[in-house]
Amino acid sequence: MKNQVTIRVPATTANLGPGFDAFGCALSLYTDVTFEETEEGLEITGCDEAFTGPDNLAYTSYCAVLASLSEEVRGVKIHIDAHIPICRGLGSSAALLVAGAMGANVLRGNKLSTQGLLNITNAMEGHPDNLAPAFYGGLTASMVDSGLPVTVSFPLHPGWEFLALVPDFNLATSLARSVLPEQVSRADAIYNISHGAMVLKALELGDEKLLRSAMQDRLHQNYRKKLIPDYEKIEALVRTTGAAFCLSGAGPTLLVMTRNPRLSGILREKLPKITERSWEILPLHVEFQGAKQIDN
């Protein structure tokens, strides 16, 4: 069995408006994590020193998979080459969990299925909305049934372009969850169920008008937008272009979905005029393959 492997995991955007904690999509931005078994304990490089201890998510999921296989945890060197921004709503934590799980599984002969790895990491993360597209790629919807995640894939029209508007500040998921209400009205629940169904169909058809309407939400975005400076200004600007708009995950990254290839240029020109913050515009496409082993 080999003693070194590199796993590449795509960024993910979760929720897609009304699909709170259920919808997710893999995007063309990546984190590579290399695992090399050694005889000398734990060594983690490529990230801030604060993340080089045994609570690093790549290491904790690596250990969880080995434990599920009743395998001992040997020394390991982990090198993280991350291009997914941290704490920005693009699945940086899920990417590390997926990489650690896949790395351990490959080094032990791929004894577990992808579903098995999703089961393990979902128990750690608590919800599969980012994990599922990171493992499987593409557009997914997930639920948890009897404690185990169930995921299905949905088709996407090839004409979509995803523009991630990434700000110069982060937002902890714990804070973004803390502002949400414990209970919601029946009307708001119905609103999100109906809009979520339309989101999936609009993405399949490439229907920008339908998607723009369907991505409205009443469960999380109205509460979280108060944590993001200039959210409403940017949303108003995007809506004048005819594109669809939502938070990426818990934020603070904002996601624009369009069929207009010129939109990124329009936003680069107009965005600095309405906000003093620095927003990086990342044109992305859907990553259909999901996490994979790459050559070292």
Which pLDDT score, from 0 to 100, does residue 48 have? 84
- Residues with Cβ within 8 Å of 230's Cβ and at least 6 positions away in sequence, in order, are 274, 275, 277
Residues 121-180: tens digit of each pLDDT: 999 998 899 999 999 999 999 999 999 999 999 999 999 999 999 999 988 888 999 999
Q: What is the mean pLDDT of residues 90-96?
A: 96
Nearest to residue 98, comparing CAs of 74, 77, 116? 116
From 41-55, 79-93, 142-156, 253-267, the region with the lowest mean pLDDT: 41-55
Same-domain check for residues 102 and 173: no
Domain that holds residue 190: 161-284
Q: Give the highest mean pLDDT range of 45-49, 76-80, 85-89.
A: 76-80
Number of domains in the chain: 2
Q: Compute the CA torsion angle 60, 133, 179, 277 (nearest 10 deg).
A: 100
pLDDT value of position 296:
62
Residue 24 · residue 132 · CB < 8 Å: yes
- The reply to whether 19 and 142 lie within a common domain is yes
Report the chain's mean pLDDT, rounded to a whole number.
Answer: 95
- Distance between first and last Cα of the chain: 15
H helices within the chain, ranges in order?
57-68, 92-107, 114-125, 131-136, 173-178, 186-205, 208-214, 221-224, 231-240, 263-270
Per-residue pLDDT tens digits for 109-125: 999 999 999 999 999 99
CB contact at 8 A, 11 and 90: yes
Asked whether residue 121 falls in the same domain as residue 243, the answer is: no
Q: What pLDDT was estimated at residue 276?
A: 87
Give the tens place of pLDDT for each residue, 26-46. Answer: 999 999 999 999 988 999 999
124 and 213 inside one domain = no
Cα dihedral 60/292/10/208 (nearest 10): -140
**8 Å CB contact between 18 and 199:** yes
Residue with tokens 């404690």: 147
Within this chain, do residues 44 and 16 fall inside the same structural domain, yes or no? yes
CATH of the domain at 59: 3.30.230.10
Instruction: Check whether 203 has a pLDDT greater than 90.
Output: yes
Got the DSSP string for 179-211?
TS-S---HHHHHHHHHHHHHHHHHHHHT-HHHH
CATH code where residue 273 lies = 3.30.70.890
Q: Both 136 and 259 in a single domain? A: no
- The token pair at 208 is 């920008």
What is the length of the chain?
Answer: 296
Same domain flag for 137 and 227: no
User: Is 193 found in the same domain as 96?
Assistant: no
Ramachandran quadrant class, 230 (left: phi over 0; alpha: psi -120 to 50; beta: rest): left
Tell me: do 35 and 128 sit in the same domain.
yes
Are 238 and 260 contacting, i.e. CB atoms less than 8 angstroms apart?
no
On whether both 49 and 131 belong to a single domain, the answer is: yes
Q: Are residues 192 and 127 in the same domain?
A: no
Q: Are residues 200 and 216 in the same domain?
A: yes
Least confident of 15-19, 167-171, 183-187: 167-171
- Contact present, 272 and 228 (Cβ < 8 Å): no
